[in-house]
Structure 1
């Protein structure tokens, strides 16, 4: 029987893809299946009927789509092709790329590097047509023509159709890769995901990969580059020896804390997918153990937690004896800081409560549908020790109809937590709102940036959130925030104000406020590094 028909649902109600007591294994396919399912069920009422939706997909030249096909896709039982995801975008009236880019990004993160296939399968044209179209797009990219996210997606997808075309055109590909990576650094949302996926394809490509790694190395060497943590982390997209050597080098002798953290984040996937050999794993464990044992190293709580997580990823036989000793002490030391509050059980209960509150805010709750996956994604977005896992859980929620209700629920929690003075929970919620928040949440984050009662830890995270959270800030706010933290930095009242100023310039740059950037660049009362950041934004062309 069809589900979600007009009026009262006939037959069995729409159910969550999996029930297994209190446990739920979120496979990559199940994550994306959930996104399709909730977008359909919370969309137009007519599309709650699987039969009607399958028939509508068939009219979009998708062959062999039946209600059972849709059911398998939405329960994670079979892979969804690219054209089907585009069909969901069209029928559900979603912006172009709003679902396909999420599929590409999430599926790539949770899969080993492949030099022969794309995360979301495409139907490719014949080789001759692919060559012609690739050449057209490549010459446009290298020649300075405007390429949107769809064009970058098409260009790099085509390289897997005709990989031999890549030979003999390294100068064009290098120019294209340089431009593409530059655009990755300054875009956001769907525009960023499309370009990020495109550059990852270059990194993974059997021919273009070497050029892409070299382009990445050169950009990381530029200390003025913004988003340096995420840039260094992109080495996890290549299984080439050169990429692994760069990560090891940046861990042993990092230029600054941002480079170290980015290299550390890259280790999560590189260890999991076997990019390091045995000797490198042992050397890596010794380096990280030294960071934990050195009282002068002083990594922040989040970085320290990630160091421990990466050390535990390394197989026990490959751990240096110093790492074994440090990890043993780590398990016994109850005084070590923990970034995200609460035990696993507490985190799960709290995530369920937040999910229930968010679902209660929904305008279109489908009859009989109990979402088991949303609480699990909220738990990941708030509590997982690895930043990228938190980011991609939040990305899935952001692309779903739950974004606004979850953001409103987190804002309510933030307000109550701020009154209680729980700094750890405040920063955790701010990090989630960085991806999930909209204009209403932005106003609350702005207030924290300029609140004299807030610690520099809170204002730093809040200022960083302004670079990605929805909505815009008026010029008067930017002037007030810059003035307050510039004065505090010059007075030396508390450490950390220089970092807050740098975060603010990052957000101002993303907002395209060139006038304010010019003012910062000329202001000799600002920290030198902040003025350098403003100069970088001004000289970086926007796509």
Structure 2
């Protein structure tokens, strides 16, 4: 990850808005100041940008300041991706330690705020949990720990962009805090037992970062007897890292292999990549921990187990997307050829584990590549349509897209020939793309996918659930209330709409991460 951190800093400097910062000398001369009061020189900047020296937290913040980036854009991306690739309990981008004295007034004020109905911004969660991490002996009442964790979890699953990344990292810190971890795990486990809750994939998968025995227990519970398909998929994703980092006992790893062996022959699972995940997991279990059915599946060979084959990587498509992205940038940098960009594009489109695809997109979204890359990806997939590749693109657009991609996603939702899985992914993407959809779209989309009375065709329900998610992310409480009380809607649609209605306003609108959201009711 050190090399990708260095790459992130370099491409932001070279392709940012200011021409003057492309010259390392000019950038280094202006670097002292703000969050970095120490001296700097071209050699130090070069060492940071080539991963020869670890970059400190204050230096990354200074990049944000000098390059005119939104606060937290780079630090949150580095924290989130570091957390995924590193088994260590703390982020590689360490914050300055406390001075050894008692907690300051700001920490006390934040603790009061998070255990009340006061609005708390994502940056405040970042500051508070960084302080708690640096002071593992800081005492809170057990009830306050659970209240804090439960609130942060809810805010995380309804956040977007930098605000989501900051809250996600904040919650991950609590999962490693000696006093908070049991309460953070319990908050995830309790939320995962609410069938109508949104983002259950994320809620269960969050437990992959914790080595605590309780986390392994709850992941296995959702693997063996999931509350719904989302919770099951989250458990599968959690097992990827938990197996890699040795969080399971041999008996638990064997239980995972048994579920995966069965899954390889199960065509009823909604997620297209579930069987691909099962194959990845079977290959990660130690041979001595495999149950007999898993050994038999491996002997038969994973590619022939009856599930869909992996999406075949097209190196020419990856190269065209990377070249089109670079060609759309504001300037050409002599003697600089970005070897990381095509690697990340390949991961976004073809990595078998969806979390790997997501983290590649998160890193790219924190660079000047974001907008031209989204356009290039959309152009290529429209030129060579395929359902599974289109699903990958729509998932990537949740991090890479903007208001310019919104009309395209709306057309996919409304077009009568769009496959239901694609329309559902497009509907969910609307919850993350900029801008707002008008009343005409929402009325037409809901009517288009609402099942007729007595119909047994349930294809539209998945799309409607995606629309509910998009409405919730945009804060449209009026339309959500209408869906929650509509007799024309199946319970699978009314229930998540009711869930959004139960989220308190100070959580739904606490941090202005999405300025286009509806105002508080």
Instruction: Identify the TM-score tier after normalising by the shorter chain.
Output: over 0.9
| Alignment CA distance shift 1:470-1:229 (3 Å) | same
Residue matched to 2:224: 252
Tell me, what secondary structure is at the counterpart of 1:250? Answer: helix
| Alignment CA distance shift 1:490-1:74 (3 Å) | farther
Corresponding position: 1:156 with 2:129:
yes
Measured against aligned partners, the alpha-carbon deviations of 1:202-233 in whole angstroms (never above 9, x if no partner) come to 01112211111111111111122101111110
Which residue, out of 367, 378, 391, partners 2:334? Answer: 367
Which residue, out of 69, 90, 98, partners 1:94? Answer: 69
Residue matched to 2:92: 119
Greater shift in the superposed pair: 185-194 or 157-166:
157-166
Please show how residues 211-290 of structure 1 align to structure 2 within 5 Å.
211-290=183-262
Following the alignment from structure 2 to structure 1, what is the Cα–Cα distance between the partners of residues 183 and 65? 36
2:451–2:458 contact (8 Å) kept in structure 1:
no
Please state how far the C-alpha of 1:242 moved relative to its aligned partner: 0.4
Which residue, out of 167, 176, 198, partners 1:204? Answer: 176
Please show how residues 49-198 of structure 1 align to structure 2 within 5 Å.
49-60=23-34, 61-114=36-89, 117-130=90-103, 132-166=105-139, 168-198=140-170
Structure 2, unmatched stretches of 5+, are 511-521
1:225–1:533 contact (8 Å) kept in structure 2:
yes
Following the alignment from structure 2 to structure 1, what is the Cα–Cα distance between the partners of residues 209 and 262? 26
Residue matched to 1:381: 348
Corresponding position: 1:325 with 2:289:
no
Greater shift in the superposed pair: 441-450 or 409-418:
409-418
| Alignment CA distance shift 1:319-1:255 (3 Å) | same
Structure 1, unmatched stretches of 5+, are 1-27
Measured against aligned partners, the alpha-carbon deviations of 1:463-519 in whole angstroms (never above 9, x if no partner) come to 122222233211211111011000468644x44211110111000110111121121
Please state how far the C-alpha of 1:449 moved relative to its aligned partner: 0.6
Tell me, what secondary structure is at the counterpart of 1:265? Answer: helix
| Alignment CA distance shift 1:490-1:67 (3 Å) | farther
| Alignment CA distance shift 1:540-1:364 (3 Å) | same
2:451–2:460 contact (8 Å) kept in structure 1:
no
- TM-score w.r.t. the length of structure 1 is 0.89
Following the alignment from structure 2 to structure 1, what is the Cα–Cα distance between the partners of residues 240 and 405? 31
Residue matched to 1:48: 22
Measured against aligned partners, the alpha-carbon deviations of 1:265-294 in whole angstroms (never above 9, x if no partner) come to 001111111111112111211122122235
Please state how far the C-alpha of 1:334 moved relative to its aligned partner: 7.9
Residue matched to 1:523: 486
Question: Number of residues paired by the alignment?
Answer: 504
1:62–1:84 contact (8 Å) kept in structure 2:
no
Measured against aligned partners, the alpha-carbon deviations of 1:123-143 in whole angstroms (never above 9, x if no partner) come to 123122436543331122112
Residue matched to 2:517: none
Following the alignment from structure 2 to structure 1, what is the Cα–Cα distance between the partners of residues 327 and 102? 51
- TM-score w.r.t. the length of structure 2 is 0.93
Residue matched to 1:32: 5
Corresponding position: 1:483 with 2:447:
yes
| Alignment CA distance shift 1:338-1:173 (3 Å) | same
User: Please, what is the CA RMSD of the aligned residues?
Assistant: 1.8
Which residue, out of 434, 442, 445, partners 1:470? Answer: 434
1:139–1:172 contact (8 Å) kept in structure 2:
no
Measured against aligned partners, the alpha-carbon deviations of 1:76-127 in whole angstroms (never above 9, x if no partner) come to 222211111100000000011111111111111111141xx43311112312
Following the alignment from structure 2 to structure 1, what is the Cα–Cα distance between the partners of residues 381 and 335? 31
